[in-house]
């Protein structure tokens, strides 16, 4: 029987809150200008959860701006769960197996694995 997924992987909202807690332990930092403590959480009916407005540069941003997760159609919790499986796995999983575990198609899993590995390689070599 497979282990239960940690709660941060069960919804896109939970995954976003998890990333916000990691990257912004005190307050949101603008991804565009780097201002800290100058953001307002937008709460309109037409605004998706997690969008902030920077009062310094007057631009909207989320915790995913500037990451491989930005503008992705794949839910954030799927990205984080796949990343978890790649980094914490006892053994290497095939892309087919990862796709089944995460609940995405093979093509989507392959795309995600490629982007995660590229991001890890560029971080390890110092290229951002």
Instruction: Output the average pLDDT for the chain.
Output: 89
Q: What is the 3 state secondary structure string of 88-122?
A: HCCCCCCHHHHHHHHCCCHHHHHHHHHHHHHHHHH
Report d(CA 85, CA 81) in Å as an integer.
6
Window from 13-27, 54-68, 79-93, 94-108 with minimum mean pLDDT: 79-93
- Whether 2 has a pLDDT exceeding 60, the answer reads no
Q: Are 53 and 60 in contact (CB under 8 A)?
A: yes
Q: For residue 113, give every residue at least 6 positions away whose Cβ sits within 8 Å of its Cβ, in sequence order, or none.
A: 82, 86, 95, 98
- Does pLDDT of 124 surpass 90? no
Question: Which is higher by pLDDT, 123 or 112?
Answer: 112
Q: How far apart are CA 25 and CA 10, in angstroms?
A: 21
Q: What's the mean pLDDT in 76-80? A: 95
pLDDT at 89: 67
- Cα separation, 35 vs 75, whole angstroms: 27
CB 63 within 8 A of CB 50: yes
Q: Binning pLDDT at 50, 70 and 90, where does residue 58 land?
A: very high
More confident residue, 34 or 88: 34
pLDDT of 1 higher than 50: no
Position 107 scores a pLDDT of 97
Determine the pLDDT at residue 11. Answer: 92
For residue 36, what is the DSSP state?
B
């Amino acid at each position: 029987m497979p282990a239960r997924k940690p709660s941060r992987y069960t919804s896109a909202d939970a995954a976003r809150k998890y990333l916000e807690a990691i990257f912004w332990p005190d307050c949101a930092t603008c991804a565009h200008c780097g201002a800290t403590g100058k953001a307002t959480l937008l709460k309109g009916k037409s605004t998706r959860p997690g969008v902030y407005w920077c009062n310094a540069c007057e631009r909207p941003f989320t915790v995913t701006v500037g990451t491989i997760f930005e503008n992705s159609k794949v839910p954030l919790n799927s990205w984080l769960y796949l990343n978890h499986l790649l980094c914490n796995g006892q053994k290497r999983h095939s892309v087919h197996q990862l796709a089944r575990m995460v609940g995405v198609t093979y093509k989507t899993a392959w795309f995600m694995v490629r982007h995660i590995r590229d991001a890890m390689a560029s971080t390890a070599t110092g290229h951002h």
